[in-house]
Amino acid sequence: MTSLLIKRILFIGLLISSFSCVAKWHQKQFEVMGTLSKVEFEFNDSKQADILIEKVVAEMHRIDRLMSPYKSDSELSKLNQQASQHPVIISNELFELLEKSDYYSRLTQGAFDISFSSVGYLYDFRKHLRPDDLQIKALTPQINYQGIRLNKANKSVKFSSDKIKIDLGGIAKGHAVDRCIEILQKHGVKNAFINAGGDSRVIGKKNDRLWYIGIRHPRDEGKLIVNLPLEQVAISTSGDYERFFIEDGIRYHHIIDPKTGDSVRNSQSVTILANTSTIADALSTSIFVLGSEKGLELVNKLPNVSAIIINESGKMLYSDDLVSPN
């Protein structure tokens, strides 16, 4: 009888001690930049973990306040209000993101162009509003990244025309995810996942196993087309289902062809895997605009970049590195 009791006590003690060794995971979901975000990471000190979560949330909101085109007092709005009249000196952070945007514009021969907003600002997908033909005709020539003059010497920006407007919606979320990963890494976090809308990045593992991130079916919200096992990578999906409305059978959505001022209808979704979220974000928007043929041609030339494209007819296409040799 006594020995049974001792065995039981020992067993319960073992259970308690093995639970206390189980890694402590922390997570939070929150709204920022008009989208749902999530942070999840392993950290043993729960109090410190709560502080880290607040740092990540604050960082996302800080970047939103800096780069939102919808906040009239953001640094980006200041550019849209003043940069056609005189050079505007901006923060290093915004200047560097404008330089990166310029790099992707050149790399994609203008498919990625933050001045898409010169026409793009006239779309309101919630209210089902879009520019009329006259507006498109008048403003599309204003979409030209070369009209955004960057002066590295004093970190100033000047627009070549008063009709140019810029919007960093195609790259800012990726930048925010990278900054948040940096914060976690600086505090010793080894295993983490951060997501902002279609942009995610993972470091380390999830309980000694790979992370799994799904790509949703572009026409069936509840369905995944693939669930990818991932490690140490950023993944970004651009889809025509994120912000859109349908009028007379035509889908108007938030990814704009700089050549036409109209929504791009070559693809349903483009997923990019890359080393950082900034790269993955800029390229997912870019490759969406380029379409599967030109897009895969470009991705196949870029080191450490992979693509999964669902084209306009729903067919899945991959970059060469993902195609199995058989």
By CB under 6 A, name the binding residues for ligand AMP. Answer: 112-114, 116, 167, 169-170, 198, 238, 242, 254-256, 258, 281, 284-285, 289
Residue closest to 35 by CA, chosen among 169, 166, 165: 169
CA–CA gap between residue 319 and residue 326 (Å, rounded): 15
Query: Which residue lies nearer to ligand AMP by CB, 173 or 206?
Result: 173
Minimum distance between the CB of residue 119 and ligand AMP, rounded to whole angstroms?
A: 10
Strands 35-42 and 148-151: what pairing?
unpaired
Query: What are the distances in angstroms from CA 110 to CA 116, 180, 187, 248, 290?
Result: 10, 29, 39, 29, 9
Helix (H, G, I), strand (E, B) or coil at 163: coil
For 199, the token pair is 């942009």
Q: Residue 130's binding partner, choosing from Mg ion, ligand AMP, none, with beta-carbon cut-off 5 to 8 A by kind?
A: none
Q: Residue 53's binding partner, choosing from Mg ion, ligand AMP, none, with beta-carbon cut-off 5 to 8 A by kind?
A: none
Residue least distant from ligand AMP (Cβ): 169
Query: Which residue lies nearer to ligand AMP by CB, 157 or 289?
Result: 289
Q: Dihedral angle at the C-alpha atoms of 82, 86, 91, 97, nearest 10 degrees?
A: 80
Minimum distance between the CB of residue 200 and Mg ion, rounded to whole angstroms?
A: 12
Query: Which residue lies nearer to Mg ion by CB, 170 or 258?
Result: 170
Residue closest to 118 by CA, chosen among 156, 75, 162, 67: 162
Query: Which residue lies nearer to Mg ion by CB, 266 or 285?
Result: 285
CB 201 within 8 A of CB 235: yes
Query: Which residue lies nearer to ligand AMP by CB, 52 or 256?
Result: 256
Q: Residue 33's binding partner, choosing from Mg ion, ligand AMP, none, with beta-carbon cut-off 5 to 8 A by kind?
A: none
CA–CA gap between residue 271 and residue 217 (Å, rounded): 12
Q: Which residues bind Mg ion (CB under 5 A)?
A: 170, 281, 284-285
Minimum distance between the CB of residue 51 and ligand AMP, rounded to whole angstroms?
A: 30
Minimum distance between the CB of residue 269 and Mg ion, rounded to whole angstroms?
A: 12
